[in-house]
Amino acid sequence: MVGASAERIHQDIETIANCSSPGPGTNRLSFTPEYWAAVDYVAAQMAALGYERKTTPHGNTRFRRREAGWDEPAVAVGSHLDAVPQGGRFDGVAGVVAGVEIARLLEDLDVRLGRPYELLICAEEEGARFGSVLAGSKALVGRLTQGDLAQMTDAGGTSYLQALGETGEPVWADQGGVLGAADVAAYYELHIEQSVVLETARVPIGIVQGIVGIRQYRVTFSGVANHAGATPMRLRADSLAAAAQAIASVEALATAAASGLTVGTVGMLVNEPNAANVIPARTALSIDLRDTDAAVLEEVAERVLERIARIAEERQVRAQVALTAESAPVVLSSRLRGALVRSAERQGIGYLEMPSGAVHDALEIARVMDAAMIFVPSIGGRSHCPEEDTPCEAVALGVDVLLGAIQTASARAG
Ligand code: HGY
Ligand code: MN
Ligand code: MN
């Protein structure tokens, strides 16, 4: 056992948890003061170990030891620090903290890797501020351009790039920020499982085989505002009633899908003018569809969009549909997963190989470089809520497995 410190991890988790705006749970949107406070805390931990910080043009943050330089392909550990509204203390944070603890262990144990070690913090993983999940990691691998980021705006109309620029973060301009296998030879992400599989099986480690694909849409129904009392039912064009049918359809179509694994969620609803005695005029809702099978995901998405068109026609309302995020499912690197399996077995730590129903930065990063993920249990399977919790001892065990794998993965081939 290499001995990651649960105490140090607890200290990191609690300090970062305090980098939050007021409200239940964790509230930390990308590029807000609380976001940079969390990044600054991580940077201070890394600077104490001789690591320098670089901010890419897309607001991702990279750390490498000064003497290692930035030219050689690194072995990287990464995740995210932005949170969903009223989120938990561990989602994303556990993976970044694991990356800091690995840097400490490399020092404490005088471990010499065959490659530079890098810690990577991807921005806007949740999409909670600019409306598109995995925006930072998509930009990191070149799936989103600076032009795309300039178009993505938050509720107040501030664009992704404006928000990044406002904080005066010294952006590493001469480094395009688009990474590939020439920059990172192996990417690992430790993450809380966010469901009940490991806890139910009483197994401490999950080794992720693959990550679901995702389609997110924003649908706006436009009806006709009118008087709730004086307007007969047959003369109405009620946008909220149309949205209600659409919400029920998302649930029914996801549940009935061929794979039996599809999930469909409407998590966001904005209704205008939202008054008890006004027939709603405009209702916007989000739709989030996922499946590990790309063909099933495509089919369910098509059926949902067809149903929305039919609802709009029957109700004489207008439906505008925008695709806000799309990522195909991936199978993670067998080379890096094998290193995790061998590390767990060497240390006598139990593990389960399993899929991920949540998306992660590894989903996009895996498209351009070898990537793998390791899960640690979520208490009660809860996540994306203030109740999200994981024992720091479990995170430490995950770090032990991760370090063993990194030592294998960083060895130069041949
Ligand atoms: O939505 C997700 O799966 C992730 O938490 N962004
Ligand atoms: Mn999340
Ligand atoms: Mn996450």
Q: Is 102 helix (H, G, I), strand (E, B) or coil?
A: helix
Query: Three-class SS of residue 280?
Result: coil
Closest CA to 53 of 103, 9, 15: 103
Give the pLDDT of residue 175.
62
Question: Are 189 and 76 a contacting pair, CB within 8 Å?
Answer: no
Alpha helix (H) residue ranges in 62-145: 93-108, 135-140
CA distances from 204 to 12, 267, 333, 379, 401 (A): 21, 30, 21, 12, 11
Domain boundary among 268, 295, 327: 327
Residues 322 and 345 reside in one and the same domain = no
What is the per-residue burial (b if ≥16 Cβ within 10 Å, else e) of 100-138?
bbbbbbbeeeeeebebbbbbbbbbbbbbbbbbbbbbbbb
257: in domain: yes
The alpha carbon of 358 and the centre of ligand 2 are apart by a number of angstroms equal to 7
CATH code of the domain covering residue 373? 3.40.630.10
* pLDDT at position 177: 74
- The CA distance from 339 to 353, in Å, is 13
Question: Ligand 1 center to residue 359 CA distance, Å?
Answer: 5
Q: 97 lies in a domain? A: yes
Q: How many CB atoms lie within 10 A of CB 275?
A: 11
Q: Which residues surround ligand 2, an ion (CB under 5 A)?
A: 91
d(C-alpha 152, C-alpha 138), whole Å: 13
Residues 240 and 141 in one domain: no
Ligand 1: atom nearest CA of 126 is 6
Instruction: Give the number of the atom of ligand 1 that is nearest the alpha carbon of residue 384.
Output: 5
Give ∠ CA 262-266-267 in degrees, rounded to 5: 120
- Looking at the 3D structure of the chain, how many domains does it have? 2
CA-nearest residue, atom 4 of ligand 1: 359
One domain for residues 199 and 101: yes
Tell me whether residue 1 is in a domain.
Answer: no
Neighbours of ion ligand 3 (CB under 5 A): 91-92
Domain assignment present for 138: yes
**Domain ends where: 282, 304, 327?**
327
The CATH number linked to 220 is 3.30.70.360
Q: Does the residue 282 lie in any domain?
A: yes
End residue of a domain, out of 270, 301, 327: 327
To test the pocket of ligand 1, the residue of 81, 126, 324 to mutate (highest count of ligand atoms within 8 Å of its CB) is 126
User: What is the Cα–Cα distance from 260 to 229, expressed in whole angstroms?
Assistant: 44
**Closest C-alpha to ligand 1, atom 3:** 358
**Peptide bond before 33: cis, by omega within 30 degrees of 0?**
no
Which residues, other chains included, contact 270 with Cβ-Cβ below 8 Å and sequence gap of 6+? 283, 284, 285
Do 143 and 262 share a domain, yes or no?
Answer: no
CA 257 to chain centre: 24
Q: Is the peptide bond before 204 cis (omega within 30 degrees of 0)?
A: no
Please tell me whether residues 208 and 233 are part of one structural domain.
no
Task: Please report which ligand is nearest the Cα atom of 88.
Answer: 2
- Nearest atom within ligand 1 for CA of residue 134: 6
pTM of this structure: 0.96
Taking alpha carbons only, the member of 318, 320, 287 closest to residue 303 is 287
Q: pLDDT at position 411, please?
A: 73
Domain shared by 68 and 95, yes or no: yes
Domain span including residue 253: 213-327
Q: What are phi and psi of 18, to 5 degrees?
A: -75, -15
Residue 127 makes CB contacts below 8 A (sequence gap 6+) with 133, 134, 135, 216, 324, 325
Per-block mean pLDDT, blocks of 10 residues, the chain (414 long): 88 98 97 97 98 93 94 96 98 98 96 95 98 96 94 97 84 72 94 98 98 98 98 98 98 92 97 98 98 96 98 98 97 98 97 98 97 98 98 98 92 58
Are 311 and 359 contained in the same domain? no
Report residues whose beta carbon is within 6 angstroms of any ligand 1 atom.
125-126, 133, 358-359
What ligand has the least distance to the C-alpha of 83?
2
User: H-helix or E-strand containing 140?
Assistant: helix 135-140
CB 31 within 8 A of CB 129: yes
* Together in a domain, 114 and 128: yes
Looking at the domain assignment, is residue 131 inside a domain? yes
Residues 202, 285, single domain; the answer is no
